[in-house]
Structure 1
Amino acid sequence: MTALIFVSTLMRYVGGRPLRFSDELAGLLFLSLTFLCLPHVLDKGRHIRIEILTNLVPASMARVMDIVGTMTLIVFCLIFAYEAWNFMGFSYSINSRTDISGILLWPWMAIMPFSMLLCLLVQLRHGIRQPLAEKSLTEDAI
């Protein structure tokens, strides 16, 4: 993705004509990168969390908050996967393509429900508890 943008920029300023498809392809690659990393990040417990409240309340209340967070994630993943599947199906039915280069879009859109289903499987593997990171961020930096 970086090489694609670099070559396109170089061709724009040196050759006067950028690669026509570079912006569309870079966007699709970024979408893929983002959605395919979500299950891995969830599995490793590296997702964004707001721990101020859970650190202030007693342990029993923190567990309840953790369960509510898990249920929220499951509901979100189910709804997102359902809606993304419908969106992908519509794109498939109209043979949707990108404007400039004509890249077929539905295979790229299929990554979204697939990613949410993988997130559901990861969460089911961890049960009703949110996965926790194995190391703190300060240990990663060292």
Structure 2
Amino acid sequence: MNKLIQWIEKAALAVCASAVLIMMVIGSIDIVMGNVLGFYISYKVELSGTLLATSIFLACSPVQRGNEHIRVDLFEHYMGDKTRKMTAFLGNLCGLLFVGLISYGLWNQAFKSVMIFEASADTSGFLIWPWKLACPIGTSLCVLTIGGQLIQQIFTSSSLKESK
């Protein structure tokens, strides 16, 4: 199961990297064309917004797994071991709740987008629904990761109590 999740995360990161590359290429072309020809790409803002959201959500699970998210540890060195474990557990519990709610909302939005084959409202007509479908996939992976971390924390803390 762990290998499957890692493979899915690698695929998600590949899509994420592709989205960032597309944003960079379109942005660069827009700047060059705007300064040289005086012509700007009409769909750059909508495309960039869609791809940025996709990139953030698809990278969520590996960041959570590696504990690489932004963290304020102002008082952490003053805390005891039990307090640190409890705050980590509560943080993961809150993360599971909030990311789960975000995932739920994104799945609803993605289903609606797929049903109408949503495309860009500007003149380009690029498809938005595949990117909107990628967002809840990323958050669902993150929910699974946080859930696994919570289960691991519960069993690790209970096995420590039993060994004492």
Identity %, equivalent residues: 25
Please say which of residues 117-126 and 69-78 is displaced more in the overlay. 117-126
TM-score scaled by structure 1?
A: 0.78
Deviation at 1:11, TM superposition (A): 0.8
Contact 1:67-1:129 within 8 A present in 2 as well:
no
Mapped pair 1:13 → 2:35: yes
Structure 1's unaligned 5+ residue stretches are 131-142
Q: Deviations over 1:6-63 (max 9, x none)?
A: 1111111211212233332222222222211111111111101222233222221221
Q: 2:94 aligns with which of 72, 90, 94?
A: 72
* Cα 1:19–1:10 shift into 2, 3 Å: same
Mapped pair 1:111 → 2:142: no
Tell me the equivalent position of 2:44: 22
Deviation at 1:103, TM superposition (A): 2.1
Q: Distance in 2 between matches of 1:31 and 1:80?
A: 13
Tell me the equivalent position of 1:51: 73
Q: Greater share of helix residues, 1 or 2?
A: 2
Give the number of aligned pairs.
130
Structure 2's unaligned 5+ residue stretches are 1-22, 154-164
Q: Deviations over 1:77-108 (max 9, x none)?
A: 21111111111122233443222122222221
TM-score scaled by structure 2?
A: 0.69
Contact 2:58-2:139 within 8 A present in 1 as well:
no
Q: Give the AA of the match of 1:88.
A: A
Mapped pair 1:102 → 2:125: yes
Q: Give the AA of the match of 1:124.
A: G
Tell me the equivalent position of 2:113: 91
Q: CA RMSD in A?
A: 2.0
Deviation at 1:129, TM superposition (A): 6.4
* Cα 1:129–1:72 shift into 2, 3 Å: farther
Q: 2:144 aligns with which of 105, 121, 136?
A: 121
Contact 1:78-1:116 within 8 A present in 2 as well:
yes
Q: Which aligned runs of 4 or more in structure 1 are off by greater than 4 angstroms?
A: none
Q: Distance in 2 between matches of 1:66 and 1:28?
A: 32
Q: Distance in 2 between matches of 1:18 and 1:8?
A: 5
Q: Distance in 1 between matches of 2:133 and 2:107?
A: 7
Q: Distance in 2 between matches of 1:85 and 1:53?
A: 37
